[in-house]
Structure 1
């Protein structure tokens, strides 16, 4: 299904299509999260959803996500086959996967309560156990409501198990036939479905949408909208898939066909490996369920995580995508001196971008949370709580992306085992740090545990590469990173000082006032860092600026 005569520039076109579609999807994802915040704040409806979504979301990300195991396995097998050979393979895989996932869906419906207990045991504490925390009775009543709504939402979202497999198969099938726009843009339908569902709920309930007694209905609508969005996401792929001759919904049971077995053999290890990160997510929520106001804790973690993932997702593409093929070309021992320079380039570009952004997000966490989320049910108090979690997330941005740079180096060296072993150890380390930090620090402690795991992973990978590549200039890299950290700290302090000045001048109320203060303080901080970093004469800073300018000039010329 691949065309060897396709021009080389098609790779750039494909990257552009995927990048544009992903950006649009992320924008609608932000709108969706803002709508959820406005409707539910940090109350039990969204808090319960975070727990109920763990298993269905795990399946949707793992099986239905782009670059997930289903997607990758199907692309790798179908891309090497002729188009007319694809339909029987796709139909057999669909039959097998749907059969297995239907059984899983029935199990989720029948055992919803014990599965929620597995995910969030802290929601099932007895009144006597809760009394030992010293929290008011109203907090316990909210906890019970969160638990019951989570069980309801879990049952509503059980069909996501089947839809996840169908979406993943569709993604892989369309990509294997060089169709990229629809798979990349289709997540927008999930966001639109939630926006429409919440819009209908607002029309039905009016101002009562934020009332505690309507949390049940709101939670059910949120879960149902997610399922409807996934259903639309799958259905829009079908006509394109059928017209392309890439299989229909016809059942086929030739599971012993060589190509079908090949897909299964690729999917198995890939699914296990891809699940490591989701296990860490579950671990965090497991311990979060023991926080007295668990709904507020997990809600704030969800809102703050989105704010951090947005710049991380954009800049990771700018930094990592161009370096991946370079790392691979320099994997031979004779090229290791050049490889070390490229590793430095990746790490220093990460430091130049992530450290000042982290410092500014930490300094401006409150106005960021208020500008993005504070409206209707999401109160100023919720914004301050989310901001405290955002500070912890921002602290680890550099460690997170630097670790990803080094993981790509290991892959270029054809060593997937070392990152995999480290990820296995990280599961237990994350659980230990969660256990130690959740009681004194609550949700902030859970985020700091993740930051600690990423930092330790980064240091271990540097040490392994230092030995494997016959030495890395770690002292020099550490000195530059320290100087950039110092400059970032100064820029954060300037931004905070500027924010306080503008607050004294303009006050702290009103969306436009908050937005203006955020823009002024952020610009002041970035300007200070840029002037400081220029004095260090780092080639990575010049490279990053040149890359951004090239993208801007290319857009103007278009």
Structure 2
């Protein structure tokens, strides 16, 4: 039987470090919030203009490879970013500039070849990702992939630059940069709408819409790279020259972390390919996954960046043997804060998925059928919210320890499991004709990913316990169980309240249907988690009370 008696944390010896983390988290949170709002506006514009039509459905297949590279190589908390932060945080600024120049040179040479490959092999690559696409969607996606191919080169430059800036305690520019991509897409779709009007949804306009989406995405990536250059120059990290130096210790150390980490994250993208392979036989599934994923990534990315960006340099600076107790406390802090924030969020996605999707998307070309598809996907995502962020926390600990191989091994194992879980959970005929035993449809793709992430979290925790020669996993597991019970209570209350009342029609009614049950559910969660004595929740509640008293 699980006991949810109050627990206490050992007071940290790094009060100054804690204050610094709070300051960094605030900067990252504000920047990420603006970027996420921009991303939401972008998706609303796309949804109203294209719905789940041909242009956007094809775009989701074409974007898989360039988007993967942009997120993998250029994303905050990606392997390039994490490796640069881990290595440069411990080195002088002048040496960091040399390391960045050497890596920019070698990485650019490699990614130029990748760009050329994407252009020349676009047609078979789209066939590989979406074998069930119609000829029209296949043609649109092929052109889109060729137009977005240069994002491969830009992604590497973005990731290396942003990692260097974070290592130099420059956090605002990396956090705000995704706003550039959103702005470019909004402008591009807006110009197309101004030219075509309601004709944008006609089949004849599908290719034009697809081309605009691809070009706007490429321009957004270019802006993300350009926005970092002034900050790199100001920090003394920019050297506009070719530097071929493979033997520098710092360069080799970055590659030792970055190489396996990139392969590990690349393995995750193979799972995306697998999902799209199965989704290609379900009408609108790829577009639906894109819309549902944005609703998940908006709060997830905000919390992830606020939590992981300040914690990663901290992990890297606590790898010495004498700092082991403090490192363990920081790992617990990251895991408990991520779990405490993700559980109620996932519960509300499950309980209030339908009104959330209707409020955000249901207008223009996005009809009731599209809303039903996305609602099922969003509810499936809700089950996996805690393990999504928990896995990222654990992976960053291994990166800080200079170990990218362990996460890679777990990612490799997840590939085979993903194929099995996709086949088991999607249902209906698979692309090769066999019948799977379950029938979750498109949400089965998400549930398969949730299962893999849960198994990966468990494996990484056990590997980390062995690496650090002991972790209080039983106590941590008890606290996670208590948080889960509180989350179930919150979701049940929110679901019951939104189902019992007859809410007004229209946007106002949807806002009330989300806000009132959601707020009551969060209140129940906070009270229950505090009563269970979870230290991190108690600290957050105390901070909120202090702020309220001041006001």
For normalisation by structure 1, the TM-score amounts to: 0.80
Q: 1:218 and 2:202 equivalent? A: no
Distance 1:202 1:208 in 2: 8
Q: 1:435 and 2:423 equivalent? A: yes
Distance 1:145 1:104 in 2: 26
Query: Shift of residue 378 of structure 1?
Result: 1.3
Distance 1:233 1:321 in 2: 18
Q: 1:266 and 2:254 equivalent? A: yes
Q: In structure 1, what is the equivalent of residue 182 of structure 2?
A: 191
SS in 1 for 2:149: coil
Deviation readout 1:341-393 (Å, 9 max, x if unpaired): 77666555555433332222101000111111222111122111101011111
Pair 363,29 (structure 1): closer, same or farther in 2 beyond 3 Å: same
SS in 1 for 2:366: coil
Map of 1:425-464 to 2, 5 A cutoff? 425-439=413-427, 440-464=439-463
CA contact (8 A) 1:328 1:413 kept: no
> Which segment drifts farther, 371-380 or 413-422?
413-422
Query: Shift of residue 197 of structure 1?
Result: 0.3
Pair 322,539 (structure 1): closer, same or farther in 2 beyond 3 Å: farther
CA contact (8 A) 2:40 2:298 kept: no
Q: In structure 1, what is the equivalent of residue 128 of structure 2?
A: 118
CA contact (8 A) 2:292 2:377 kept: yes
Pair 14,43 (structure 1): closer, same or farther in 2 beyond 3 Å: same
Deviation readout 1:308-367 (Å, 9 max, x if unpaired): 22333344456667877489759859976x887776665555554333322221010001
> Which segment drifts farther, 263-272 or 209-218?
263-272
Pair 467,197 (structure 1): closer, same or farther in 2 beyond 3 Å: closer
CA contact (8 A) 1:276 1:427 kept: no
Q: 1:39 and 2:53 equivalent? A: no
Query: Shift of residue 43 of structure 1?
Result: 1.9
Q: In structure 2, what is the equivalent of residue 129 of structure 1?
A: none
Q: In structure 2, what is the equivalent of residue 297 of structure 1?
A: 285
CA contact (8 A) 2:315 2:397 kept: no
Deviation readout 1:117-146 (Å, 9 max, x if unpaired): 2323333xxxxxxxxxxxxxxxxxxx3322
Q: 1:209 and 2:200 equivalent? A: yes
Distance 1:235 1:267 in 2: 24
Query: Shift of residue 195 of structure 1?
Result: 0.6
Q: In structure 2, what is the equivalent of residue 520 of structure 1?
A: 516
Pair 179,422 (structure 1): closer, same or farther in 2 beyond 3 Å: closer
Q: In structure 2, what is the equivalent of residue 360 of structure 1?
A: 348
Say which one has the larger Rg. 1
Pair 409,548 (structure 1): closer, same or farther in 2 beyond 3 Å: farther
> Which segment drifts farther, 409-418 or 110-119?
409-418
Distance 1:210 1:199 in 2: 14
Q: In structure 2, what is the equivalent of residue 157 of structure 1?
A: 148
For normalisation by structure 2, the TM-score amounts to: 0.81
CA RMSD, 1 decimal: 3.8
Pair 14,495 (structure 1): closer, same or farther in 2 beyond 3 Å: closer
SS in 2 for 1:512: helix
Map of 1:136-155 to 2, 5 A cutoff? 143-155=134-146
Distance 2:100 2:322 in 1: 42
Q: 1:108 and 2:99 equivalent? A: no
- Structure 1: where are the runs of 5+ without partners? 1-6, 124-142
Map of 1:74-85 to 2, 5 A cutoff? 76=87, 80=91, 83=94
Query: Shift of residue 295 of structure 1?
Result: 5.7
Deviation readout 1:195-242 (Å, 9 max, x if unpaired): 100110111111222223322111110110011112222234445556
CA contact (8 A) 2:140 2:210 kept: yes
Pair 549,113 (structure 1): closer, same or farther in 2 beyond 3 Å: farther
SS in 2 for 1:364: helix
Distance 2:114 2:368 in 1: 42
Pair 488,327 (structure 1): closer, same or farther in 2 beyond 3 Å: farther
What is the number of residues matched between the two proteins? Answer: 521
> Which segment drifts farther, 307-316 or 226-235?
307-316
Distance 2:334 2:96 in 1: 39
Distance 2:175 2:513 in 1: 35
Deviation readout 1:286-309 (Å, 9 max, x if unpaired): 343344554611111122122222
Pair 518,438 (structure 1): closer, same or farther in 2 beyond 3 Å: same
- Structure 2: where are the runs of 5+ without partners? 1-15, 428-438
CA contact (8 A) 1:170 1:241 kept: yes
CA contact (8 A) 2:425 2:448 kept: yes
Deviation readout 1:176-213 (Å, 9 max, x if unpaired): 66544334322211111001001101111112222233
